[in-house]
C-alpha cells in the first residue's frame, strides 16, 4: 500500500508542475519571468494549461478522500486485497485522467473519473469491513 500512496503523491507532485510546464512551452521566457516575480496579476493560461490546472483542482478534491482511506488501510493492516486493489484502480485512473482532461477526449474524462471514484469506494468498503 505504501508504494501506491507514494505513486499517488508523485502524480500529485507532477500535476502541480504541469500547468507551469505547459505555459513555459507555450510562451517561453515570459512564463519564467512571471513565475519569478510577485505574480500580483495572473498570467492568462493557455487552454491546455487551464485544463491542467482544473485537473489539479480535481486531484486536490480526490486526495482529501484517498489519503485518509489509504492511511486507515495501513492502520488496519489492509495492505492487500480490496483496499490495495482500490488504491491501484484509483492511481491508474488518476494517471489516465490527466491526459484525458487536457486533450478533452470526449466522455473518456468522465469515465476515468468514475473509475477513480470506484477505486475509492473499494477502499472505503475494505476499511468499513475491517472496523
Q: Domain count for the chain, please give it.
A: 1
pLDDT at 39 over 90: no
pLDDT at 31 over 80: no
pLDDT at 79 over 90: no
> What integer is the mean pLDDT of 98-106?
92
pLDDT in tens, 68-78: 999 999 999 99
| pLDDT at residue 42, rounded to an integer | 79
| pLDDT at residue 33, rounded to an integer | 78
| pLDDT at residue 81, rounded to an integer | 94
> What integer is the mean pLDDT of 94-105?
95
62-70 LR contacts (CB < 8 Å, sep 24+): 62/90, 62/94, 62/116, 62/117, 62/120, 63/8, 63/12, 65/120, 66/8, 66/90, 66/120, 66/123, 67/5, 67/8, 69/120, 69/123, 69/124, 69/127, 70/1, 70/4, 70/5, 70/8, 70/123
| pLDDT at residue 63, rounded to an integer | 97
Domain span at residue 64 reads 2-129
Q: Is the Cβ–Cβ distance between 89 and 118 less than 8 Å?
A: yes
| pLDDT at residue 27, rounded to an integer | 84
Say how far apart CA 59 and CA 8 lie, in whole Å.
10
pLDDT at 29 over 80: no
pLDDT at 118 over 90: yes
| CATH assignment of the domain containing 68 | 1.20.120.550
Picking from 88, 83, 112, the residue whose alpha carbon sits closest to that of residue 99 is 112
Amino acid at each position: 500500500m505504501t508504494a501506491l500512496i507514494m505513486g499517488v503523491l508523485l502524480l500529485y507532485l507532477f500535476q502541480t508542475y504541469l500547468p507551469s510546464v505547459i505555459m513555459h512551452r507555450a510562451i517561453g521566457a515570459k512564463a519564467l519571468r512571471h513565475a519569478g516575480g510577485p505574480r500580483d496579476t495572473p498570467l492568462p493560461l493557455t487552454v491546455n494549461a487551464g485544463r491542467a490546472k482544473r485537473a489539479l483542482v480535481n486531484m486536490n478534491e480526490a486526495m482529501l478522500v484517498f489519503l485518509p482511506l489509504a492511511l486507515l488501510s495501513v492502520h488496519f493492516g489492509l495492505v492487500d486485497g480490496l483496499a490495495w486493489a482500490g488504491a491501484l484502480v484509483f492511481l491508474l485512473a488518476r494517471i489516465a485522467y490527466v491526459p484525458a482532461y487536457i486533450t478533452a477526449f470526449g466522455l473518456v474524462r468522465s469515465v476515468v473519473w468514475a473509475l477513480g471514484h470506484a477505486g475509492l469506494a473499494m477502499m472505503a468498503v475494505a476499511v468499513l469491513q475491517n472496523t
